[in-house]
A and B are shown apart, each in its own frame.
Chain A
Amino acid sequence: MDVMELLTSTLIQGLIYALISYGVYITYSILDFPDLGVDGTFPLGAAVTAVLMTRGVNAWLTLPISLLVGGLAGLFTGVVHVKLGVRNLLAGIITMTALFSVNLQIAGSNLNIDRGTDTIFTSAPVMALLGDLSLTGRKLVVSAVLVIVIKLLLDAYFRTKSGLLLRAVGDNATLVTTLAKDRGTVKILGLVISNALVALGGCIVCHETRSFSATMGTGQLVYGLAAVIIGVSLMNFYSSSRLARGLRKGGVLRLLASPQGTTAVVLGSVLYKLCIQIAMSLGLPTNMMKLITAALFLLVLVLSGRKGEAIIHA
């Protein structure tokens, strides 16, 4: 594989996995809720997608269905935490553990989608629009469009009243209570949105790899966290830089001066995939991938000086 091809595939991976980092961004950065349920919700999206695809359901229909089932998983974590009073970390662990079996029940076993089935990347509308591109090219365009559309939707949502309240609950839950709103309900809403996005990530990965495996969720929260922390740290570093301060003074480039958190986590996701890819290219065996993921995460934590405390949405 030449370098260009490797970089493109890394970029595709980074973009698709950015969907997970959006989800983690909402729980970890905004809600201050380390949601381990991610490790179960991600394969849940893939399991549902794989089953639907092998039954001949339209490829694009798997996206809203994954969002929905992911949202339900988030609802479960939220209800366990808020209504049953279980600590956030444990609520996520319960969901994650339960989903491992649920995912296997849904999929039956590890699944492969045969070459004859159309994924979103080979579906008729995409072929009509991007038929001239190679499969890799189509994957890049489709995942980029998806990631950008969702970024814009999230940014718009964060500016709504509901979005403001969501940001407020992670920032100062007491204030939300004095605004006569139930902080628990707001948290549950955040978990629903977050897990819906993570399951969508699993769905797209399933389209991309044409497979579901029960263990594909292991380490996805760590992945999402690393992407969020890299992205947000870089954004904070950039925002306080001379360049950004210069840009903020005015002109058309002003928009570039204050990047949104969602932009930052996409960047973080791509960079993190790149780091892992580089490590792999240096000849490390695939079995070492989770070790590299963990080691890089540790490095990121130490370098960013955060060591695990919440980074709140700026």
Chain B
Amino acid sequence: MLEVRSITKVYNPGTLTEQRLFEDFSLTVEDGEFVAIVGSNGSGKTSLLNIICGSIPIEGGDVLVGGTSISRLKDYQRYATMGRVYQDPAAGTCPNLTMLENLSLADNKGRPYGLGRGVNKKRIGFYRDQLAALGLGLEDKLDVRMGSLSGGQRQAVALLMATMTPLKFLILDEHTAALDPKTAETIMVLTDKLVREKGLTAMMVTHNLRYAVEYGDRILMMNRGRVVLDRAGAEKAATSMDDILAMFNRISLETGN
């Protein structure tokens, strides 16, 4: 269980541009839940993910995993149980390393990075199978520099890398937003498959309302640092995309977006 407990987040505190985003904000995510988070720009979606991952500090409150506070842990320590895929396909891989080197790096997560061989040749077959399952023809490109692949291909590899080792949480930060519609669909299907197969708890920020309705077990809509809609289970099943869109439009009008 992941818990965000009455957090406060203030940007530029004590200045003219001070902006209080979260005040006494709380959220609980159950194990195995796939939470889709929607909301207009500036509503606090990505800030929430950054707070959970420890990328940005908070002014108050606590983040807990399984009842234990992780607030004192540095960002890299939190990633021991978390994987993250970013909006920018370049963020999830090393452009100047080959795909094989990238996969090998990710495969070693959780173990020491010592003086053993960086690439374990015995794992190449496994990588090939994983890549072949994507259907993007990547299995023959293991020795290609990551930077020379397309955005969609890189994002697919980033997703594989983020979920390669055992983990509890998958954080998806608009990870299909920079892709063309067809590639975005491919990545979304892959995401869903990985989350279900590995039984991950996932939090996905998206601007694509259809993805939120179709793939999320639970939908959160955020506005100005507050959850304005939270539907799960039967309630969520009864929610159509039109409902969400209508609500989204109403809020956008209210906030002048």
> Is A312 interfacial (CB-CB < 8 Å)?
yes
- B86 proximal to A (CB < 8 A): yes
Known contacts A172-B93, A313-B96; A165 and B105 CB within 8 A of each other: yes
B252 within 8 A of A: no
B117 near A171: Cβ-Cβ < 8 Å = no
Cβ of A161 and Cβ of B114 under 8 Å apart? Answer: yes
Which residues of chain B are within 8 angstroms of A168 by Cβ–Cβ distance? 94, 97, 105
Determine the distance from Cα of A161 to Cα of B75 in the docked complex, in whole angstroms.
21
Do A171 and B76 have beta carbons less than 8 Å apart? Answer: no
Q: Which residues of B contact A179 (CB under 8 A)?
A: 76, 79, 105-106, 108-109
User: Which residues of chain B have C-beta atoms less than 8 A from A219's C-beta?
Assistant: none
Tell me the chain B residues, 109-139 only, with Cβ under 8 Å from chain A: 109-110, 112-119
Cα–Cα, bound, A159→B117 (Å)? 6
Q: Point out the residues of chain B lying under 8 angstroms from A161, CB to CB.
A: 105, 108, 112-118
Please, what's the 1-or-0 string for B77-101, where 1 marks a CB less than 8 Å from any CB in chain A?
Answer: 1011011101000111111110001
Contact at A159–B97, with CB atoms within 8 Å?
A: no
Contact B97 A171 (CB under 8 A): yes
Task: Name the B residues within 8 Å of A273 (CB-CB).
Answer: none
CB pair B90–A160 under 8 Å, yes or no, is no
Q: Is B118 a contact partner of A180 (Cβ separation < 8 A)? A: no
Kindly state whether residue A314 has any CB partner on chain B within 8 Å. Answer: yes
Find out whether the CB atom of A314 lies under 8 angstroms from the CB atom of B114. no
Asked whether B116 lies within 8 Å of A178 as measured between CB atoms, the reply is no
A residues in contact with B119, CB < 8 Å? 159, 164
- Determine the residue in chain B with the shortest Cβ distance to A183: B76
Other-chain residue from B75, B104, B113, B162 in contact with A177 (beta carbon distance below 8 A) = B75
Within the complex, the shortest CB–CB distance from B52 to chain A, in Å, comes to: 13
Knowing A167-B97, A172-B91, A314-B145, the reply to whether A177 touches B79 (Cβ < 8 A) is yes
A309 to B88, CA, bound (A): 21
* A136 on the B face (CB < 8 A): no
Q: Knowing A171-B97, A177-B75 touch, does A160 contact B162 (C-beta < 8 A)?
A: no
Asked whether, in the complex, the Cβ of B115 is within 8 Å of the Cβ of A180, the reply is no
Which of chain B's residues have a CB closer than 8 A to the CB of A313?
A: 96
Interface check B196, CB cutoff 8 A: no
| A180-B86 Cα distance, complex, nearest whole Å | 16
Q: 10 closest Cβ contacts across the A-B interface?
A: A164-B118, A171-B94, A161-B113, A180-B79, A180-B80, A165-B113, A312-B96, A172-B94, A177-B76, A160-B115
B residues near A (Cβ < 8 Å) are: 74-77, 79-80, 82-84, 86, 90-97, 101, 104-106, 108-110, 112-119, 145, 162
Interface on A for B, CB 8 Å cutoff? 157, 159-165, 167-168, 171-172, 174-183, 312-314
- Known contacts A159-B117, A167-B101; 20 additional CB pairs below 8 A are A159-B119, A160-B115, A160-B116, A161-B117, A164-B97, A164-B105, A167-B97, A168-B105, A172-B95, A175-B92, A175-B94, A176-B76, A177-B75, A178-B83, A179-B79, A179-B106, A179-B108, A179-B109, A180-B76, A183-B76
Ordered by A's residue number, 8 sampled pairs between the chains whose C-beta atoms are within 8 Å are A159-B117, A160-B115, A167-B101, A168-B97, A178-B82, A180-B79, A181-B113, A314-B96
